[in-house]
Amino acid sequence: MFWIENSTRAEVTRVLDARLVEAARMVSSLVSKNQIALNRDGPAQITLSHDESYEHQQFCQIWSFTQGLVGRSNGAPRAQLVPADATGFRDVTRDGKDLRVYTIIDPDLGGQVTVGDSLAMRNRLVRDVIEGFLWPALVILPVMWGLIWFAISRGLAPLDRFARDLDARPSEDLRALPGTARQPREIRPLAGALDDLLARLAAARGREREFIAYAAHEMKTPLAGLKTQAHIARHAPDTDTREHALAAISTSVDRTDRMVRQLLDLAQVDSREARATSVELNGLLRQVLGDLAGLATRRGVTLELYSAPDAPTVEDDPLLLSLALRNLIENAVQASPDGAAIKVSVTTSGAALLVDIHDHGPGLPPEIAQQAGQKFVKGKGADANGSGLGLSIAHDALTRLSGTLSFEMRADGHHTRVDLPAA
């Protein structure tokens, strides 16, 4: 409201001031052309054009520097409103009225022409303009607000129903949303995206349930063996039977320990944000082989490292890389026959580094190699102590490191190849 009043007043002042200038110049022009007779029987009567609504509000005075007042319009004060040498706009008060006047010097007349109007008229004009705008606005705005509210409510009604349906849906209900094709066109993309999300969540939950079931089954088998062998050892009739049962217990404990460790490795791979740092590959492999030395001794195999002479480095997460290499080498140890040698070599190939794990095991069947990313996948005739997690851990870790994994059976044995981008 304050802004409307100020802007309206400024605009009215600008327009009416322009009218005053125009009127003063018109009167001066008429005087110069002798179209107004001056000072014969007193001040000449000047007629100004005016708006009927604001009749008698604009007035005019013509003053000669030598003869005094020589012309005036109806309603103009008889007293001089501005000093004789004044020009331009002024606000003055005469006879209790506030006036706005504009004065110019007429050299042909040898005097000045003053044109003015009432500030009260200007205020009434501003008030009329504001009222002319305000009253329709007071009527139209509520109607417009009602129409807008109705249109928005009607337009958002399908979205509100959609939100209520989602709120009422149980958290375990991951089926597709009903009637997506019948939804309004505006929310079909949202409904479609939610359907896709629900489908992915259902698939993820399915994999989680499957993983838990497999893990429980794999854990149950060695624990059942432990219980059975412990019973046998307790009631063994002779030393040989007891020693055999204790050896079986040791094997079950090793299998359980390996599986628990692999489950922890898998959890680390799934949850870890890769942190790239410079890794010296020979040093990392020596550490991994050192960790597996005890297992290799128990399995009766030897571990040999053929390091690259230029100490190659990679920009990778050392934990993920060590988990991948450890599980691949451990698989080779488990698959190798007694007395075999496992050779791990590092070579460069263009912009990539190659880690080759050469063992003398039966090799990985092609159908198992194609399922390297799946958990608990084991081929026929696989090591009974294997859980089917080692290959999956290596695959997932290398995928995060932008590395690749491949297998090849050659004449000299089985080769597991890891390609890594060089630093």
**Structure confidence by residue, pLDDT tens digits, 121-154:** 888 888 888 888 888 888 888 999 999 999 998 8
Q: Dihedrals φ, ψ of 127, to 5°?
A: -65, -40
Taking residues 27-36, report their average pLDDT: 80
* Euclidean distance between CA atoms 386 and 220, whole angstroms: 14
The highest-confidence range among 150-164, 176-190, 291-305, by mean pLDDT, is: 291-305
Q: How confident is the model at residue 173 (pLDDT cuts 50, 70, 90)?
A: confident
Q: Which two tokens stand for residue 211?
A: 């993983």
Q: State yes or no: pLDDT of 39 exceeds 70.
A: no
Taking residues 12-32, report their average pLDDT: 87
**Structure confidence by residue, pLDDT tens digits, 50-84:** 555 554 578 888 888 887 888 888 778 888 888 88
* Euclidean distance between CA atoms 12 and 21, whole angstroms: 14
Alpha carbons within 13 A on the beta-carbon side of 353: 25
Predicted local distance difference test score (pLDDT) of residue 133: 81
Q: How confident is the model at residue 382 (pLDDT cuts 50, 70, 90)?
A: low
Look up the pTM and report it: 0.53
* Euclidean distance between CA atoms 385 and 26, whole angstroms: 114
Asked whether 100 and 119 are in contact (CB, 8 A), the reply is: yes
* Euclidean distance between CA atoms 367 and 29, whole angstroms: 108
How far CA 163 is from CA of 157, 166, 175, 191, in Å, comes to 10, 5, 16, 11
* Residue type for position 311: A
Q: How confident is the model at residue 97 (pLDDT cuts 50, 70, 90)?
A: confident
Which residues fall within 8 angstroms of residue 383, CB to CB, at 6 or more apart? 334, 335
Q: How confident is the model at residue 176 (pLDDT cuts 50, 70, 90)?
A: confident
Q: State yes or no: pLDDT of 158 exceeds 90.
A: no
Predicted local distance difference test score (pLDDT) of residue 41: 63
> What are the counts of helices (DSSP H) followed by strands (DSSP E) for the chain?
9, 13
Predicted local distance difference test score (pLDDT) of residue 84: 82
Q: Which two tokens stand for residue 143?
A: 């109607």
Kindly report the average pLDDT of the chain as a whole number. Answer: 83
Q: Which two tokens stand for residue 104?
A: 């110019």
Among 37-41, 93-97, 312-316, the least confident range:
37-41
The highest-confidence range among 150-154, 178-182, 206-210, 270-274, by mean pLDDT, is: 150-154
Predicted local distance difference test score (pLDDT) of residue 296: 92
